[in-house]
Amino acid sequence: MLKLLPMWDYLCPRCHREVSKNSHQCPSCGERFPFPLRVPPRCLKSKEVLERYVHEKIFPRISTWQREYLAQFFTVIFQDGFESGNFSAWTGTSITSGDSLTVANDNPHHGTYSAKMVTGVTTDVFTYAYKTLATTYTTLYQRVYVKISSVSTTVFNADGKRVDFVIFVGSGGRVVQAGLRRDAGVVKWHLQYRNAGSWYDAFSSTPTPQANTWYCFEVMQTTGSSGSDRLYINGNLVIEVTGVSNNDRGSPAQIQAFGEHYVASSVTV
């Protein structure tokens, strides 16, 4: 592992931004210098910085077995509590006309901020923040803390109406998506998964989703010819499908939060 880490970082003497080892001019501030400052690698300053460096710089350059071995020690690929006050930590956002996606401080789960999505559109639309990962993962978890303003059958006014909180995307498109969906007149936790090139739905009857309640919502997928998908609510496994062929669109390389929604009237997440 140590052989894969840099021995030194090289900084501009003026602005202290990272430059290449043999550079003589800073690309950021334009400062010219005979040689850059040599300092101990900043990736060793904290566990969080080291994890980010490993996932962004090392994982794309090593073999699959090396990546899977290291993943057991560097499991946090990406995390953001929106404490920046914006979506700068994400690769980007996509917002359908009529929806809004903001960072707000009126109702955080923890800290000062949270992401807030308001939809007033009654057609099949997509409003989400997305993060493109440095590589693909055969096993991937995504956890979000969610609260929805209404789970009533007035909002989810027909079977099939839904809001997704988590979506995984592979090279060929979406590979799993999960959230709330109305089924037989009841709004339930829902996971939609791939099997042999088609979509299938799985529902959980417990715990019953409640409005204006924070939930820890976590999705896991293992991709393969005999893959599996799981949904955890507050740490409890509530949906599991196994032995499915879910590799037709590749392994996930992007995560989306909020995602697709198709509801009858305005709802806030």
Per-residue confidence (pLDDT) for residue 78, from 0 to 100: 82
Domain covering 92-268 assigned CATH 3.50.50.60 in the classification: no
Label residue 165 left, alpha or beta by phi (over 0 means left) and psi (-120 to 50 means alpha): alpha
Per-residue confidence (pLDDT) for residue 36, from 0 to 100: 92
- What mean pLDDT value characterizes the chain? 85
pLDDT per position as a tens digit, 188-235: 999 999 999 999 999 998 888 998 998 889 898 989 999 999 998 887
- 3 Cβ contact list (under 8 Å, min separation 6): none
Identify each DSSP E strand in 156-226 by its residue range. 162-170, 173-183, 186-195, 198-204, 215-222
Per-residue confidence (pLDDT) for residue 47, from 0 to 100: 67
Percent of all residues in the chain with a pLDDT value above 90, rounded to a whole number:
31
For tokens 């090593």, the residue is: 62
CA distance 169 to 147: 23
Q: How confident is residue 48, by pLDDT bands cut at 50, 70 and 90?
A: low
pLDDT per position as a tens digit, 70-81: 666 666 778 888
**Overall average pLDDT of the 146-153 stretch:** 86
Q: How confident is residue 110, by pLDDT bands cut at 50, 70 and 90?
A: confident
**Overall average pLDDT of the 234-261 stretch:** 89
**Overall average pLDDT of the 236-243 stretch:** 92
CA distance 104 to 133: 25
> Is the pLDDT assigned to residue 10 strictly greater than 70?
yes
- Count of Cβ atoms closer than 10 Å to residue 254 Cβ: 17
- Measure the CA angle with vertex 34, ends 33 and 40; round to 5°: 85
Q: How confident is residue 121, by pLDDT bands cut at 50, 70 and 90?
A: low
**Tokens (6 digits) for 122:** 């009654």
The residues facing 241 across adjacent strands are 229
For tokens 């996509």, the residue is: 94
| In the chain, domain spans | 2-71, 92-268
**Overall average pLDDT of the 255-259 stretch:** 84
Name which residue leads in pLDDT, 193 or 156: 193
| Nearest residue to 127 via CA among 260, 254, 217 | 260
Per-residue confidence (pLDDT) for residue 177, from 0 to 100: 93
| Nearest residue to 190 via CA among 206, 201, 176, 175 | 201
**Overall average pLDDT of the 79-96 stretch:** 88
| Nearest residue to 122 via CA among 94, 154, 149 | 154
Q: Is the dihedral of CA 175, 215, 130, 179 positive or negative?
A: positive
Cis before residue 252, ω within 30 degrees of 0? no
Per-residue confidence (pLDDT) for residue 155, from 0 to 100: 81
Per-residue confidence (pLDDT) for residue 58, from 0 to 100: 75
**Overall average pLDDT of the 144-166 stretch:** 85
> Is the pLDDT assigned to residue 248 strictly greater than 90?
yes
DSSP 44: G
Name which residue leads in pLDDT, 12 or 123: 12
